[in-house]
Structure 1
Amino acid sequence: MSGSPLHGIKKWDPLTSPGTSTHMIIKDLGEIHSRLLDHRPVIQGETRYFVKEFEEKRGFREMRVLENVKRLTSEANDKTLPRCKEAMQGGLDQALQTLKVANRTLGRLQQRQHQPPTNDPQASEDRLRARCDELVKEQEQWQVAVDEEHKKAMERLREQYARMEKELAKSASF
């Protein structure tokens, strides 16, 4: 090495040259990295904004709305549906009873039609009058029964709609 013409001349090194420091270069690289590649501060800011928007500004409005919907749904399942089912079942029971009565009456009418006719006109006329009187009495009884059933049904419907209006007014106030 003593014979080398560059003997005694130092090589230039940018890290050790005067005026620059390794520490400054590393610091600059860290800054560049954080500005270009590190997105955590932006994401944290967006997260904070999201939380502030939905929790603080809206005041859990959506949660209250969902709780009201849940309460109304469970109330409908627990109270309204069973009442509707009972009303429907009551109406079906009354209709079934009316149909049974009508079926019995039609059966009696069919039996009377199939009876052999008599040759005595007076007996036939008396029998026809008796049947006519019987039918008029049955019709009057049916009319009274139907009128009573109608009154009861109308009263039940009035009560049911009044309750439903109260419940609707109560739920609309929320």
Structure 2
Amino acid sequence: MSSGGSVTLSPSKTGESPLSGGKKRDSLGSVSSHPILKDVGEIYSRLLDHRPVIQGEIRYFVKEFEEKRCLREVRVLENLKNTTFDANDQTLPKCEQMMHGNLNEALRRLQVANEMMNRVQQREQNERQLQTEKLMAGETQRIALWEEFVKEQHSLKAVVDEEHTKAMERLKEQYASMEKDLAKHTL
């Protein structure tokens, strides 16, 4: 640095000063300040210049990622590809075949069950119809029996009424004859 103004130091790998002409001069203009600039350049490169460390880390990361991880991922992708091809070539057709077989069996069983249910339903419907017909026949028979009973009751009533009327007439005649006898005896 010079006393007249600020000079930015940009270190280089050779350790040369940024001052003009490539010659190193001290603050008074002499060439004796070369070790200080060299030390400042080294301090700058160690403390502030992180490029070599970062480049090393970048190389390490790239090496780890590309070489190790890439191979691992390629193996994983190969395994996935093989698994997919196996699934497409073998597993999927087997599953499809089993599915169709099982679905056909299930469909057949459902059809049999449906036919059985239809037969049971038809049987129940026939039984209901028979019961309904029996009930209707029984009701018709009861109605006929009731009508016959009512007619019989009317005829019995007519007979009883007729007998009652005859009995009443006989009693009237008997009482009339008794009154005549009584009237004969009382006179």
Q: Same fold by TM (over 0.5)?
A: no
Q: TM-score range by the shorter chain?
A: 0.3 to 0.5
TM-score (norm 1): 0.44
Look at both structures and tell me which one has the larger radius of gyration over its CA atoms: 2
Higher relative contact order, chain-length normalized (CA < 8 Å, sep 6+):
1
Q: Give the TM-score normalised by structure 2.
A: 0.42
